[in-house]
Chains A and B, each alone.
Chain A
Amino acid sequence: MPALCNDLSSFARTIVHGEEPSSEIDTNYTNYSVAVAVGVYRNNYRGNLHDALAGAYPVIEQLVGKDFFRRMTRQFIGQHLSRSGNLHHYGAEMSGFVAEFKPAQDLVYLPDVAALEWACHCAYFADDAAALDLVKLAQIPPVQYSELILCTSPACHLVRSRFPIAAIWHAHQPGAPGDFHIDFDCGSCNALVCRKNDVVMVFELAEADAAWLQGIQAGISLGEATAATLERFPNFDLQAVLLNIVTQGVLVDFSMANH
């Protein structure tokens, strides 16, 4: 077994880092030299990782164009190894990578769009969660409502940006009209990602609603989160946001703060 392990490590270095093929590699091909065979294998390796990234980041690919995307992902692939046997786990570092990627520096919104796309990707593959049990909620005495700790769905993500990332995302979905106008003066964007009936959706939340939900996601009690939000946003409408996010399947469970 150690021999096999060594062989595989050596082969991996050849494929990933371009080291000279080990002399152990079978050279009994009639139509290929070892160098050509290794080149084909390496191209498959890169091609599959590129495809995984294109699957996770379709909006980024449209924004920068296919050729630019391919060259960008090639550099990403050189810097980031796949750490999982599941290709859907590959590409989490794209947002940070894009932020440092010099040829894309002019597209200042790109890292945040990448973060939103990764959230959508993770939302798609997140575990299912049951809908909020209102019968169970109805058994809680109203005097204890402030102590409720609300749990959000594993598919729910809040992505905040100073750019209109939700509008950019929507403009690049299948079926969206190709002609769009993005208003960069509309200020920051709080994009709420959730999943309903296996479809990933992106909504925009008002600043107050996003601040409140961030508190809820951090595990703060309903009373504390609401008080903190009202302090900053006196017009915060708890009833509206609560109805909205329960309808979207964002809240899935609750517990009590003092238990």
Chain B
Amino acid sequence: MNDQHTLISAAITSLLALGIGTSSGSAYATDHEKCFGIAKAGQNGCNSNKSKHSCAGHSKVDNDPNDFIVVPEGSCLKVGGKLESDEDKPATPGK
């Protein structure tokens, strides 16, 4: 217990000694104020992201076909390709 107390004291003391946090103002500098309600980069107003859609933009009746593409075809093919879905089998990288 004494060892642990020493350890905690040393850790807090070094924190205070380095003076990070308030004294440097490093965590939340005021020269970078966030406007209230600002959207994520590329997302703004009722057009919620950078794609072409907007409140008035979906002028079609339906732009989504109903059928599924069964196979994902994004970068997951680079992240080890198909993996075993069995919980207990270790995931292996595909080449």
Prevailing SS type, chain A contact patch = helix
B:58-95 near A, CB below 8 Å: 58-65, 67-76, 78-80, 82-85, 87, 90-93
Prevailing SS type, chain B contact patch = loop
Q: How far is the CA of A163 from the CA of B87 in the complex (A)?
A: 12
Q: How far is the CA of A210 from the CA of B70 in the complex (A)?
A: 37
Q: How far is the CA of A172 from the CA of B79 in the complex (A)?
A: 11
Please give, as numbers and ranges, the residues of chain A lying within 8 Å of B55 by CB-CB distance.
44, 48
Q: How far is the CA of A47 from the CA of B91 in the complex (A)?
A: 35
Contact A62 B20 (CB under 8 A): no
Counting CB contacts under 8 A, is A80 at the interface?
Answer: no
Contact among A106, A110, A135 for B82, CB-based, below 8 A: A106
Say how far B52's CB is from chain A's closest CB, in angstroms.
Answer: 9
Counting CB contacts under 8 A, is A130 at the interface?
Answer: yes
Please give, as numbers and ranges, the residues of chain A lying within 8 Å of B51 by CB-CB distance.
51, 54
Counting CB contacts under 8 A, is A233 at the interface?
Answer: no
Task: Count contacts on B: residues with CB < 8 A to the other chain.
Answer: 67
Contact B72 A103 (CB under 8 A): yes
Contact among B14, B29, B48, B72 for A87, CB-based, below 8 A: B48
Please give, as numbers and ranges, the residues of chain A lying within 8 Å of B20 by CB-CB distance.
134, 243, 246-247
Contact among B26, B58, B83, B90 for A47, CB-based, below 8 A: B58
Please give, as numbers and ranges, the residues of chain A lying within 8 Å of B63 by CB-CB distance.
43, 47
Please give, as numbers and ranges, the residues of chain A lying within 8 Å of B15 by CB-CB distance.
134, 137, 242-243, 246
Please give, as numbers and ranges, the residues of chain A lying within 8 Å of B68 by CB-CB distance.
71, 103
Which residues does B use to contact A, with CB under 8 Å? 4-5, 7-16, 18-23, 25-29, 32, 34, 40, 42-43, 46-49, 51, 53, 55-65, 67-76, 78-80, 82-85, 87, 90-93
Given A64-B72, A71-B68, A247-B20, 6 additional A-B pairs, CB 8 A: A42-B62, A104-B72, A106-B83, A134-B15, A226-B4, A252-B27
